Amino acid sequence: MGIPNIKKYLKISVFLIAYILFSAPGALAQTPTPVNAAVQNAEGAASLGVAQMVAVNAKSVQDGSIISSSPNGPILSDIPYDPQVLGVVARDAAIIFTSTEVKNGVPVIPVGRVYVLVSTANGPIKTGDEITTSTTPGVGVKATKDGYVLGTALEDDTNPNTKQVDKIALNLELHYFNAKPTLAGSLSDIFKLAILPTKNGPSAIFKYLVAALVLFGSLILGFLTFGRTAAKGVEALGRNPAASRAIQLGIIFNVFIVIVIILAGLSIALLILRL
């Protein structure tokens, strides 16, 4: 009697464990439910990436929509070259992490291979083109100038109707795009990258380095100017003692300029550190 009862309890235990792991709601990872796409080329396609549930501040969110952060919470991206992109909505993601704290959320992939909504408003899209955000909420376009982009197109979109929204595969990896590779690393590009208020902006080491160079340069310029002015003032006093008052005023004025140069360098350095 004892052995059959033990076998019975073991079977019940195994059944309960299997039910909790594969059927119970609120599990950490769940199998995504395919949805019908309202745009071309995406039927039955699956995104390769890990998605996390995000509560988007919008009435309806299509699969493939681009999501960005804002002061009012996650929204459909509507700023060209937006550096605050969170990812792309992918209800067919390989893995979706859910949370009881997020209500009415949508799965968003931050990096990976996804299908994204696009239009040809910035021109036809070819494989290998960089895709960025646009003024159309949640829809991407071809990047034609410097700025932050979503990633690289893996498919073409040559739709002549620039207002129609399509869906193409994208290698999603948010990064800064330089449209002029021949001038890569120019001072203007570095400055644009430095002033962008984003988590992908310049590192603390870069900011400290630039601030130190600015401060050091202003100190050197100030001391060189002061040394040259002092030497010329002493020489002028020796040649024309009668004009000593005017020469002294000139020296004081130049010292004031030196102080202004040093203070300006210090202010710029502090501004860089605050970016």
- Express each pLDDT in 145-173 by its tens digit: 989 999 999 999 999 999 999 999 999 99
- The predicted model scores a pTM of 0.53
- Rounded distance, CA 243 to CA 237, Å? 7
pLDDT of residue 109: 93
Spatial contact of 255 and 229, defined as CB atoms under 8 Å apart = yes
Spatial contact of 82 and 148, defined as CB atoms under 8 Å apart = yes
**Using one digit for the tens of pLDDT, what is the confidence trace for 245-259?**
666 677 677 777 778
- Find the DSSP H helices in the chain: 2-22, 187-195, 204-239, 244-274
**Using one digit for the tens of pLDDT, what is the confidence trace for 44-85?**
456 788 888 888 888 889 999 999 999 888 999 999 999 999
pLDDT of residue 3: 52
Strands (E), 166-224: 166-177
pLDDT of residue 254: 74
Rg (CA), the chain: 31
- Ordered by where they begin, the domains of the chain are 27-176 (2.40.300.10), 204-274 (1.20.20.10)
Spatial contact of 202 and 193, defined as CB atoms under 8 Å apart = yes
